[in-house]
Structure 1
Amino acid sequence: EGGQLSEKVRQNPYSVILFDEVEKAHPDVFNILLQVLDDGHITDSQGRRVSFKNTIIIMTSNAGAQNIVEPKHLGFTSATDEKEDYKRMRDGVMDEVKRIFKPEFINRIDEIIVFHSLSKDNIKEIVSIMLRTIAKRIKAQMNIDMETGKEAVNHLAEVGFDPKFGARPLRRAIQTNIEDKMAEEILAGNIKEGDSVSIEYLDNEMVIKAKQLNPLQA
């Protein structure tokens, strides 16, 4: 049989291929990537030529991540300050990229994109997206309408964000503060099918209130 990569591409020639944290890849993987990026094809263990001409290859890397989490300007910043921060951060990241990856590899990449660090507004939007997903799920499963207040969203954004890990801790924060508490209330019979639930952050505590379904409306 062919290798995992070549076999997948042979069966699905129009593909998007993602190499996550590519800096951790084995040297053999880089050798294969060099061939793909240079020639547009590889030959598998069965001697079959597998074309990558219809694939898009995306590689992510944490190279230079420290430059992204380093403190920026304190207080209010102008658009010029933000541009300078980004340029300084990007230059630091690219220096690290050039240190980790060989020139012949970097030169075969069409474009390198350095993302901006997440802002507070970005984090709040991610929280809102996650909460909407939960609300849709609980609506479909138990016909429960769930609404989350602004202060609750702000609190989740605060406790669920880590400069080193970005938005990844948000999922755990939402599970602990929202999903687990909702499950406890449902098991206790305080929230029933068809109820409307509001979630607020009051007096340093996440408060879940359920508006019971009117029996006459059932």
Structure 2
Amino acid sequence: LDDGRLTDGQGRTVDFTNAELVKTSNLAVDPRDFFKPEFVNRIDEIIRFRPLTEADLAQVVEIQLGALRRRLEQRRLFLEVDGGALAWLARRGYDPDYGARPLKRVIQREIGDRLAMALLEGSYGEGATVRVSVADDELVLTSGAT
């Protein structure tokens, strides 16, 4: 990359003169202590991100739920998630090592999959509102008219 070219494993060369590369890592240590100096010397800037706060996690939960809401609205179904359920999802969807990456899977498993089964069983009709809350440390899905 010093000359603005990248050569792949098959010998093909690509022009990288106007490219910017972003490298990411989940290293718990300073990259200078982990990588060889030849690699670190090629990095212009190292940006360390702070851990996610509860407020950050709440925003990530809302973003992920937004995708599910849009899919449901195409079927004229509506999703309401109360504050307790939002906090429950944030706790279950966060891992200190992986951040909020598990959140999407938690939402799919705990709401999406259960809702899909309920739809197949005819538990929710067109125009229904699916309400998500917490009882006994478990998510509860209930139906209500809009």
Q: Which category of TM-score, normalised to the shorter sequence, fits these structures?
A: 0.7 to 0.9
CA contact (8 A) 1:196 1:212 kept: yes
More helix by share: 1
What number of residue pairs does the alignment pair up?
146
Q: Is residue 56 of structure 1 aligned with residue 17 of structure 2?
A: no
Q: TM-score, normalised by structure 1?
A: 0.60
Aligned to 2:59: 125
Which sections of structure 2, spanning at least 5 residues, go unmatched? none
Deviates more, 1:193-202 or 1:112-121: 193-202
Correspondence for 1:164 among 97, 101, 111: 97
Question: Which structure ranks higher in relative contact order (CA pairs < 8 Å, sequence separation ≥ 6)?
Answer: 2
Please list every run of at least 4 consecutive aligned residues from structure 1 whose deviation after the TM superposition is greater than 3 angstroms.
Answer: 42-50
Aligned to 1:188: 121
Q: For residue 18 of structure 2, what is the amino acid of its counterpart?
A: N
CA contact (8 A) 1:139 1:145 kept: yes
Which sections of structure 1, spanning at least 5 residues, go unmatched? 1-35, 65-92, 214-218
Query: Displacement of 1:169 after TM fit?
Result: 1.9
Q: Secondary structure at the match of 1:190?
A: coil
Measured at CA, do residues 179 and 49 of structure 1 come closer, stay the same or move farther in structure 2, by a change above 3 Å?
closer
Aligned to 1:100: 34
Q: Secondary structure at the match of 2:88?
A: helix
Q: Secondary structure at the match of 1:57?
A: coil
Query: Displacement of 1:205 after TM fit?
Result: 3.0
Query: Displacement of 1:151 after TM fit?
Result: 0.7
**CA distance in structure 2 between the partners assigned to 1:46 and 1:164 by the alignment:** 36
**CA distance in structure 1 between the partners assigned to 2:9 and 2:123 by the alignment:** 61
Q: Secondary structure at the match of 1:211?
A: strand
- 1:71-150 to 2 correspondences below 5 Å: 93-94=29-30, 97-140=31-74, 142-150=75-83
Q: For residue 52 of structure 1, what is the amino acid of its counterpart?
A: F
Could you say what the CA RMSD is over the residues aligned between the two structures, in angstroms?
2.2
Query: Displacement of 1:144 after TM fit?
Result: 0.6
Query: Displacement of 1:47 after TM fit?
Result: 7.6
**CA distance in structure 1 between the partners assigned to 2:52 and 2:11 by the alignment:** 46
**CA distance in structure 2 between the partners assigned to 1:45 and 1:202 by the alignment:** 55
Q: For residue 25 of structure 2, what is the amino acid of its counterpart?
A: S
Q: TM-score, normalised by structure 2?
A: 0.86
Q: For residue 130 of structure 1, what is the amino acid of its counterpart?
A: Q
Deviation per CA, 1:156-209, whole angstroms, max 9, x where unpaired?
Answer: 111221212211221222122211221122122110222122211134332222
